[in-house]
Structure formats: C-alpha cells, structure tokens
Amino acid sequence: MKLVILDRDGVINHDSDQYIKSPEEWKPIPGSLAAIARLNQAGYRVVVATNQSGIGRGLFETDTLMAINEKMLKALALVGGRIDAIFFCPHTNADNCECRKPKAGMYKEIAARMNVDLAGVPAIGDSLRDLQAAATVGAQPMLVLTGKGRKTQDNPALPPGTPVFSDLAAAVAHIVR
C-alpha cells in the first residue's frame, strides 16, 4: 500500500497561534487540496496525524474538531481528493500521553490500523515534533515551509536527511514524480 501521512495545521490549512477553533477559521493553503487529490490519483492513501491540544485546553470540543474536519473533507471532495483517515491527539503537553507528537503513538496507531510498515513512508509536517515522530517509526520526514516550517528549518534537531519543500504541492510533486 502506498501511504502518505500529513500534519493538518500549517500543512493543509493555514495555522494560527490562537488555534483553529471553528470551521470558519479553517482556510486551506493554496494548492494543498489539489496536492492531496494528486496523491490520490497516483494511488496513495492519505492519512492525517494532528495534535489538537485546543481540546485539552478547553478552547473547543471534539464535536467542533469533527466539524472542522468535515469542512476540510468536503472542500477536498470538490477537487477530487480524499483523506482516508484522521488521527488526532486531544491532549496537552502536561498530559504526557503517548499519542502527542513528538511521541510516536499516533504513527504506531496508523501502522496498526492500516496494517502497514511505516518504514520510508513520507510524513509531511511543518513543525519539529511532526518530523521527530515520523523519524521515530522509520517514516521519511519531509518539511514544508508553510505554517511553522521556516522556523523549523533552522532547528539543529531537524532529523538528518529531511528534505525541505516550499509547500505541500511541492512535496507531493517530489513524491509522485
């Protein structure tokens, strides 16, 4: 199975330091939805792995997250794309859970549920924690410069061999070439 793992905020949609707390605040990054559709057309299954600590912080409820994701899925369908599964961690750092990136719990759950070895699987993110979680399970971390990516690019803890792309469309063009 061909698989790609994406972070959501800062990769698919514009991020906010105040969190994306409603469907109205969710705005796709230009080209991101078409890039996901391109992956689908090339035979890739696409899953999202996203930290959503706004739930744990009491900024929004799980139902609101589901409404935000529904908006994303509908917008994606309009351009001929789909996301096969969305995995999320609702916890804060203080919860010290195993699912919050940079820990690899969400990635291990993806491997188990999709019955796939994540070795070499492209995992695209904009933050160091996305890339660290991917590297922990042997996936191929890929950095996009959207969202927090420009700041992440200069971090000395960036996993070795992480390719850097301007945005999701550029990363997908590299994957499906």
Active-site residues: which are they? 7, 9
* Distance of alpha carbon 34 from alpha carbon 54, whole angstroms: 27
3-state secondary structure of 124: strand
Are the CB atoms for 33 and 79 separated by under 8 Å?
yes
Q: Which of these, 92, 97, 76, lies nearest to 6 by C-alpha position?
A: 76
Instruction: Count Cβ atoms within 10 A of the Cβ of residue 122 and give its class: 0-12 exposed, 13-18 middle, 19 or more buried.
Output: buried
AA letter at 175: I
DSSP sequence for 42-74: TT-EEEEEEE-HHHHTTSS-HHHHHHHHHHHHH
Neighbours of 23 (CB within 10 A): 16
3-state secondary structure of 131: helix
